Amino acid sequence: MLPDMNPADVIGSYREVVLPLYGLPPRRVLLVDREVAYPDGRLIVSVTDLRGVITHCNSAFVEMSGYPQETLIGAEHSILRHPDMPAIAFKGLWDDVQAGKIWHGYVKNLRRDGAFYWVYATVIPNVRAGKVQGYTSVRRKPARLKVAEAARLYAQLLAGEGGK
């Protein structure tokens, strides 16, 4: 279960949204209208178990998310879930990786301080001795043109889901 975001962690004025999460209780998230630029040359890496619980994350993940590593390890990956991301995008991700396929997509992630950052993400199943034992996700710096396209598409999908 993910704890609600803490107003003390948030920088600047924010708005509050209760975010429904698949398989988890809803989470109160605090949103600041500020984008943090993806750092040049870095890859954000994490590994999760089959349920999406983080088992490994690198220093770029820690820096960009704003959470300490000890908070991230053992937390559900949806700790980064931003309400501007439609549920159907993540359903597609899970459908693909659970079928043993690779998933790619542009993702808007939520930071601990309420700001956000965009990534181009790839998720692959980790196969050991013929069995999937978890998933590795690598995020890289996206092209702005693609981010703009994704933001428009996600807004349409959210409207279709009855979102904001």
User: Contact residues for other proteins (CB under 8 A)?
Assistant: 38-43, 45, 47, 58-60, 102, 104, 120, 122-124, 126, 128, 136-138, 140-146
Cβ proximity to other proteins: between 110 and 119 the closer is 119
Sign (positive or negative) of CA dihedral 93, 115, 33, 141: negative
Minimum CB separation of residue 94 from other proteins in Å reads 17
At 148, which helix (H) or strand (E)? helix 144-160
Cβ proximity to other proteins: between 17 and 46 the closer is 46
User: How many whole angstroms separate alpha carbon 115 and alpha carbon 69?
Assistant: 18
Cβ proximity to other proteins: between 36 and 157 the closer is 36
Minimum CB separation of residue 10 from other proteins in Å reads 28
CA atoms within 13 A on the CB side of 108: 24
The helix/strand/coil state of 152 is helix
